[in-house]
Amino acid sequence: MQSDARPIDRLLAIMAALRHPETGCPWDVKQDFASIAPYTIEEAYEVADAIERGDIEDLRDELGDLLLQVVFHARMAEEQGEFGFEDVATAISEKMVRRHPHIFATADADTPDAVKVRWEEIKAEEKAERRARRSARGLSDVHGHLAGVPRGFPGLLQALKLQAKAADIGFDWPDAAGALQKLHEEIGEIEQELGGENCDPDRLEEEIGDALFSLVNLARKLKVEPDKALRRTNEKFRSRFAAIEDGLNAAGTTLGEASLEEMEALWQAAKPRRPAD
């Protein structure tokens, strides 16, 4: 394997060697699209994590890991005679040129809003073409206004996309007040289920899901990105919990030995002081 080859060519050659049915890596050879998909999602999250932490060197490494996932999927498709990495790169290049006629053609789009409008128009044209191709191949069409929201998306993101798609055709609360009222309603249904003599776990799961969906909808109406908001709270929890551990260590005790009251006192002490009104 030539070390002086272009980095992408070297990576493609490495993946081909790993997937060789006779001399390749036993683990890599046995994988398929479905088994690799969770790793692809994980690597995308690790890219986001490096960005969140502001670690540019880690970002470089995580982007490499994500690129490996693309190469892995492309190699498996090539083995099936479907497409290869170059086809993937060609397809996305053509898509970017097609979706930016104001850059690569003669169309005008002087504002971000104008760009977005044209982008959505071109996406709609592409979807129609894709449906025609699927029909020609005898494949069932994924149809309906919400069909473009993948079921494989994380729950928060899927809820946000579904709500935004519904809002596009007017199925939406007129303001945040309606969304907030709906959230209170859903929380009330959780309380009602918990207050019953025989709490049904399946019903409780459904009610909690409804409340989460409503909370995402409220965030959307208030122009708050729900995943970002939750990540912010996660980091706050990490920081305050670390303060509990530090406080207990300083007192010569451990998490396992501490009482809930001791941990709560340290938690409250870790919260920032608010200025007096």
| pLDDT per residue as tens digits for the range 4-32 | 789 999 999 999 999 999 999 999 999 99
Residue-wise pLDDT for 98-137, tens only, equals 989 888 988 787 888 888 888 888 888 887 887 777 777 7
Percentage with pLDDT > 70 across the chain: 95
The confidence score (pLDDT) of residue 277 equals 40
Q: Are residues 91 and 9 in the same domain?
A: yes
Whether 276 is in a domain gets the answer no
The confidence score (pLDDT) of residue 140 equals 63
Mean pLDDT rounded to a whole number for the chain: 91
Q: Are residues 168 and 235 in the same domain?
A: no
Cβ neighbours of residue 251 closer than 8 Å, sequence gap 6 or more: none
Q: Looking at 86, 111, 143, which one is the last position of a domain?
A: 143
Cβ pair 36, 69 in contact under 8 A: yes
The 8-class DSSP code of residue 142 comes to: -
- pLDDT reading at 261 higher than 60: yes
Residue-wise pLDDT for 128-187, tens only, equals 887 777 777 776 655 688 888 888 888 999 999 999 999 999 999 999 999 999 999 999
Cβ pair 244, 266 in contact under 8 A: yes
Q: Are residues 220 and 237 in the same domain?
A: no
Q: Are residues 95 and 3 in the same domain?
A: yes
Residue recorded with tokens 């006779």:
22
Q: Are residues 163 and 185 in the same domain?
A: yes
Please state, in angstroms and as integers, the Cα–Cα distance from residue 9 to each residue in 89, 91, 150, following that order: 13, 18, 31
The confidence score (pLDDT) of residue 102 equals 87
The confidence score (pLDDT) of residue 81 equals 97
Q: Are residues 92 and 109 in the same domain?
A: no
Q: Are residues 186 and 218 in the same domain?
A: yes
Q: Are residues 11 and 95 in the same domain?
A: yes
Residue recorded with tokens 């396992």:
256
Q: Looking at 118, 143, 168, which one is the last position of a domain?
A: 143
Q: Are residues 79 and 53 in the same domain?
A: yes
Could you list the residue range(s) of the whole structural domain that residue 120 is in? Answer: 101-143
Whether 167 is in a domain gets the answer yes
Q: How many domains does the chain have?
A: 4
The confidence score (pLDDT) of residue 234 equals 93
Whether 149 is in a domain gets the answer no
The confidence score (pLDDT) of residue 275 equals 59
The confidence score (pLDDT) of residue 274 equals 60
* Mean pLDDT score, 245-264: 95
Q: Are residues 7 and 90 in the same domain?
A: yes
CATH of the domain at 18: 1.10.287.1080
DSSP state letters, 205-245: HHHHHHHHHHHHHHHHHTT--HHHHHHHHHHHHHHHHHHHH
Cβ pair 43, 69 in contact under 8 A: yes
**Nearest Cα to Cα of residue 88 among 78, 101, 97:** 78
Q: Are residues 15 and 68 in the same domain?
A: yes
In degrees and rounded to multiples of 5, residue 73 shows phi and psi of -65, -40
